[in-house]
Structure 1
Amino acid sequence: MSRPSLISPPAELQALLEHSLPSFLGRLDDAGQAAFAAWPEERRDALRRVFAASDFVVEQAVRDSAMLLELAASGELERRLAPGELRAQLAAALDGCAGEDDLARRLRRYRNRQQTRIIWRDVTRQADLAETCSDLSDLADASIDLAYRWLYAQQCAQSGTPVGRRSGAAQHLVVLGMGKLGAHELNLSSDIDLIFAYPEGGETEGARRSLDNQEFFTRLGQKLIKALDAITIDGFVFRVDMRLRPYGSSGPLVYSFNALEQYYQDQGRDWERYAMIKARVVGGDQAAGAQLQQMLRPFVYRRYLDFSAIEALRSMKQLIQQEVRRKGMTENIKLGAGGIREVEFIAQAFQLIHGGRDLSLQQRPLLKVLDTLAGQGYLPAPVVDELKEGYCFLRYLEHALQAIADRQTQMLPDGELERARVAFIMGFDGWNALLDRLAHWRGRVDWHFRQVIADPEDEVGEGRQGVGDEWLPLWQGALEAEAAQHQLHEAGFVDSLSAWQRIEGLQHSSPLRAMQRLGRERLDAFMPRLLAAMAERDNPDLMLERVLPLVEAVARRSAYLVLLSENPGALGRLLTLCAASPWIAEQIARFPLLLDELLNEGRLFSPPGKSELAAELRERLTRIPEDDLEQQMEALRHFKLAHGLRVAASEIAGSLPLMKVSDYLTWLAEAILEQVLQLGWRQVTQKHGFPLCEDGSLAREPEFVIVGYGKLGGIELGHGSDLDLVFIHNGDPQTETDGAKPIDSAQLYTRLGQRIIHLLTAQTASGALYEVDMRLRPSGAAGLLASSLAAFERYQQGEAWTWEHQALVRARVLAGSETVGERFEAIRAAVLGRERDEAALRTEVSEMRAKMRDNLATRATAGGTAAEAFEAAAAFDLKHDAGGIVDIEFMVQYAVLAWSRQYPELLRFTDNIRILEGLERAGLIASSDVRLLQEAYKAYRAAAHRLALQKQAGQVSGDHFHEERRGVMRIWRELGLA
């Protein structure tokens, strides 16, 4: 494209000159006035044009009038610099630099001088687009390389010279320039994309304390960035962007050649291939840089026609199209439809596909690539001519936008004065005329862009989108932080900043950095779908917080991401469950195998019954070889996790009421305990043989029972409950087993108990089955792990405390020998049903309750007894405070101990609800009070379940459950329990 025309400044810009010209002239001394007076009229006209166009030039001229006069005197305003001249000038300007601050000052002043010259020549049309871009790129190259060399010498003097461990040679940094810098196409206010590398590892030599080469070059890189990027009173040199390096902002600042090669070979993504097309050594060791680029060339250019890149390019194109649709993009001449980026994409798409075989495409400057595409027949010449003309128009316009204030922008202005300036710089009589021409070129560019690697499926309808496509730019990092947060806010995320930070945190996390290419592609396909699904639901912030840890957890097992991508129903169920419960979210994140359960909605929300549970587990274990303990333990854990999730899901969905939830969780534990007992028995008998029965025969089945206490015995397990267990056997310590390593029978059953605990509590890849509490066995932690029936009976009849008899109310046999179980039940009935002094019993129960309340209840409200305990500001502990769960349990236990001698039917059940029904049938507690206690008990437990699923303590505010609490406390008093 020919350069834009020169026109006279319009009236509104003439007014600017009435202020700017006097400001400049007023700063000139007598010598300066004389020098200015000698300027030819053409230069004065040029000054007026430039002052009318650029506030930046005016600011620099007023601030340093001598600089502008020096530029004029040198003739540089009217001539093109010779090759190498700019670098030589900067080298002279840096000669004798006194320190890093002085380096920064000199770099910035030279940059401002050159920026003034380049804008002058651009606005006055003495320079074409190629010269402007070349000068800006040369300025960047010289600034980077000369600043690096000065800093390198200083760093070596301080820390020694870095030396390669293998080669023994001095090491230099290689600075790769990416994007427009790499292509020698910088714009007037461009940032520079850099990657830092060094040839090999080693240490510095020549200093008192050596440094690792990585550390040396990291420090050097940090200083180089500061020298170029930091804003001082003199401005900046170039804004530096390091995000194109491996792992982006979270990765190391500097990489060895081997580390770079390994990264791109193992994890390099297609967009990184796309970016690496433009890479060029812009500073440091040019020879080593050429070696590095040769190492990376196979990553960028395949040796064959690379049609595998087509799908990746199609995704990138889709990404561009999605960003174009974003609000505000129509005004962006780079990122909007028909913008600069679309021309770049057309050229680079052909380079990626054909560049491995056609070496003529392995070049960086865009206009030259377009010429090659025409010359080699990849694109018709008229198409290339249109693309070049449109591209040049857009780049000239980009420079016009940036020349005004040296600001990095590609947005069309909305102010009248700035519009007048841009139209004037571009040679148009008015803004509307410029817009008409711009619309023409953007339309042509966009049309050609749409023809490149078109997806046949997209031809069905314009603007057709896949699921989540609108989130591709955000996830791929194509949006600035502000734009990303705006999109999140528009989608319903309340705290869009935190949401964006969470997403960025995931992108930079170690598991994602370690992903292989296939896994990363799967993640890139999944994340937009996930964000889109969240945006369609209430409270997406909460879902994002709870689901992203799962994504991070499965990052290296990306088949799960495919599962969720290809099963929208499963993804929806995942979001529903995680939104409802952080406990579920944490479980799935810890054990991603649970995602399989989300596939079948009917099964997920319909857990099997007790007999079906036991049969299913037996069947699973029969498929595993008997000697494969590891697989057996994993199968048990998988079974428990899967069915635990089904119960929680059903509870959240409302298909299981509280009592059924506890039933299912208890049945699940019983089924597992039954199989664990069998596994343990098999293991100990294989080693030691079988014990003898009372009749002298071999006991082929264990004369042993597992007794459940507490919530397990009372059929009241909750999510995450531990198991209160007691082991009882009928072994004879005077007899030995018949195996190769015989031990006495009592010792065998102790070993069996140890194996059971190990099988339940051992941490495997899938966690532990249950936490186990054995403290309720006779003599507690000091007692034998497994008690004989006789010892258990002696202890309960002669040594046990009243609170241990209270615990026995909820004890029941869960697994093991029917005969031993029956004898245990007989002992239990005899102990609980013996005659007691009710007054003494009331005192003992009351004292134990008081101790518990003092230690465990809410102290601020005297355990829930103070008046303020019923205020909203107070907390009510559902379990331990007065009127809560423990009060009800103690009343039931007191009643059984006090009255079961007369009413043995009270011993039939171990759960509080049915014991209360028995008390009602016996006429021991009024029906209305039984109803109150049952409903209060269920209400408290339901609330505790909900809190457990939310991973919250079992407390509610004091203004809850007033009627229930007061009723429970009243009945407590009426029973005489003070």
Structure 2
Amino acid sequence: MSSNERTSGLTQLARDGFGELGDADALLTELVDALAMDRQEILRGAAEAGDPDAALSALARIARRDAPAVGGALRRVSSSVWRLLGASSGFADFYLRHPDELAHLTGAGAPLPTADELRAELTNAVRADADGFAATGDESAWVALRVRYRRMLARIATYDLGAEDGVDVLASVAASLADAAGAALEAALCVARTRVAGGAPGSGLFPREQVSATRLAIIGMGKTGARELNYVSDVDVIFVGGGSDELVEQVGESRVIDIATRLAVQTMRGISGMEIEPPLWEVDANLRPEGKQGALVRTLDSHLSYYDRWAKSWEFQALLKARPLAGDRMLGDAYVAAVQPKIWTSAARENFVDSVQRMRERVTEHIPPADVAYQLKLGPGGIRDIEFTVQLLQLVHGLTDDSIRQRGTLDALEALAGAGYIGREDAATFSRDYRMLRVLEHRMQLKDLRRTHLMPQHPEGLRVLARSSGLAETGPAVWALWEGIKREVREIHVRLFYRPLLSAVAALSSDEHQLSPDQAHDRLAAIGFHDPAGALRHIGALTGGLSRKATIQRHLMPVMIRWFADGVDPDYGLLAFRRISERLGDTPWFLRMLRDSSGAAERLTRVLSGSRYIGELMEWIPESVAWLDSDEQLRPRGGHALQEEARAIQTRHETVGDAMRAVRALRRRELLRLAFGAVLGTLTIDELAQGLTTVSEVTIQATLRAVRREIVAPQDASLDFSVIAMGRFGGAELGFGSDADVLYVYEANGIDPQRAHDLAIKLVSGLRSYSEDHRVPFDLDADLRPEGRNGPLVRSLDSYTEYYRRWSLSWEAQALLRARGVAGSVKLINRFMALADEVRYPARPAVQDLREIKRIKARVENERLPQGVDRARHLKLGPGGLSDVEWLVQVLQHEHAHDVLPLRTTSTLEALEAARVAGLVPDAAAQRLHDAWRLASRLRSANTLLSGQTSDVLPTDRGKLDGIGRLLEYPARSATLVEEEWLRTARRARRDFEKLFYG
């Protein structure tokens, strides 16, 4: 060969995927001589090999032993030879032992062998007769069986490797592998019968007629039972024994089981024992009752007795895939039929779902840490995550839906998606990823015909895997594909496998799975619905019809009804759920989220049955259901983010009316978010108050900007205008239903005073008008202004200055203690607050002013309480209520804040703590006053959330009290506890108040 020819030849080898060009060139030269074929003829199909170097090396080794066999195969089915030997050194070793088997290698067009063909091939290999006995029971029968099995395995592998897309043919290939395993067991059982039968007395063998009358069914479990087997995998089996009535009567059941056990042992040996020809795979019978410690073979009755009395949850999960595989078909069918009802009722066992989830976690925990990143089967995001998810969904829902009782993972996925138990998108992703993972697993196992589930750890191994699988071009690309699949599978697995809906459905009693109209009325009444007929109408409207939406609602409804019944007002909760469902219509994400979420469905039932305030708002903001699936979305949004959104709103809308509609929508949305947090317990009372205050501030600021843009002309731009928060708003202590107390102040800055005043009036009018919201009232209350309701609604800063220095009353100085600027001109706010400090923090407060504050407090208690209201139940003005704590703190601030600087705060509780630290309030009294103020605030907000209406009075209705208690995380039926805790707390606080305020 010339140097040019050699260079050209090496170039071709490189194009075909060879890595060791020099070695390949030498081996080709050897083959040319040995086979009497030219290089091009030998290399035909080499580019299709996953590892051409390994294939060429195998060809050379086999040719040294039998060159004609290699030459014949290359001339007949060259592509098949290269693909198979380039994917599997295990087959290279097989053909090295049996070169003549190359003559049976099929081409790419050959179909997969059928189950009947496989059974016939393998039983013919052992020359089985019509009674199921092999011609011989010696070791040659095992060798014949194993060689013939590998011949058929090569045919399956050739079909698989020659397919245009290995992912598309995965299911049929796996089914064929399972059929081959069943056929191998059938043939091995034929040999076992021959080995066990025909012995003389004392030989330990049994008469042929007794062996013939002994029945042994081999039940396929796991991937074998599901017809989704790997190339090299443990074949999980269970043996069921028995005999004809005559045999049992003649020799006794014990001897029959002895014979069946010997047959089982010999069958396993024929497949897994060490012989001249290597074992095929491990026959694993450890899924039998009692595992390794249990009898290898049991009668059908013994199996059923065990499953009824002692079986654990995982054993029923394993039985999900049970299928008669070999041996006595009638006995096998009887076994599978008998265990079916036990499988599909197993999810009702106590803690079934938890036990399955824990078993999956234990599997992961036992993976060696160094292997986790490479574990294709058992690791996070691997094959087991898909299988466990599918099996758990089947077992939980399969009790009432036989359409999902499928053995195979892919068939089950399709059925689960069709019935609405898993979203179509998730099912499609799982199906695609499962097939790809299995293709990778198959290629890795073909490599050495060895059981493995670990991805290659070296670049060369990844390169070969990429080429042989056809899933990627390069080693790094196939690793990136694996990483992407892992993330995708794990995300879906965690979301579906751990969703509370599964545990809830599993916990339902059998008659709760279907809401029969004949029984549902009484059941609904029994579990807490006050209007069962109305509830049935809502259920019917939600679940009626044949749409996918109705199907999913039917799955959800039994569990959600129970969750609604656990709530405060199940009737309203169900009604609100119906309205929201109708508002969302056919929105695809809504029911999918409730079904698949880690807790959204349960949270939704909780907020709807616990709060009319939430239910009414959700009807207008139904998309808020999505927040319930995210803890992050249930957190209050910060002031900066809300300000940015409000400013963006104003840039998008030209008119103040349009802008304010959007701002009102923003406010409603954020109030709903805060209400979710309050009901679900994700927010503290302090976070809630701050959140409500922030929403109010942003609303006022956005409204003021919009109104000012419409009212104040460019020539009047020097006008300064500000809004001062007062009361609980100023203290950042708002609750649900609280008014926003405010003052309005302006400064003319060179504008005609009358015009400035007129503009300020228009600004106030616009603020009040555009901030009105009939859905969630927002009352800007200016009653704390100088002279109260009789005084001007807005004043200039000079007017405030003049008034406070000449005519202000003690209550007006007291009101300023919680004044805080929230909107408008910062410069004007600072000047107003400097004025306020002079008034509210005097150096020497007049004694008569302090007396006047105390006199007014007594008058308020007597005159402002609504008629007919029990004073002790009024959370604001009653004894020990909000007013007692706030007035006491404000008197201490007015009297001491000039000298005790920490008292200069608008927060009631901060000021109370400052007073305690300063020694103005005893520690124990401060704690009791603190507890009373917080409890009153929480009760007040809970009352509004429960009823949707603002009230300062603790209800007397036991149902409402219980509802308030549930919102405050008391146990169910805690009406008395709530009432007693408030009265006790308020009574103690009142004693401290009277001693400190009037003393």
Shared fold per TM-score greater than 0.5: no
- Normalising by structure 1, we get a TM-score of 0.44
- Normalising by structure 2, we get a TM-score of 0.43
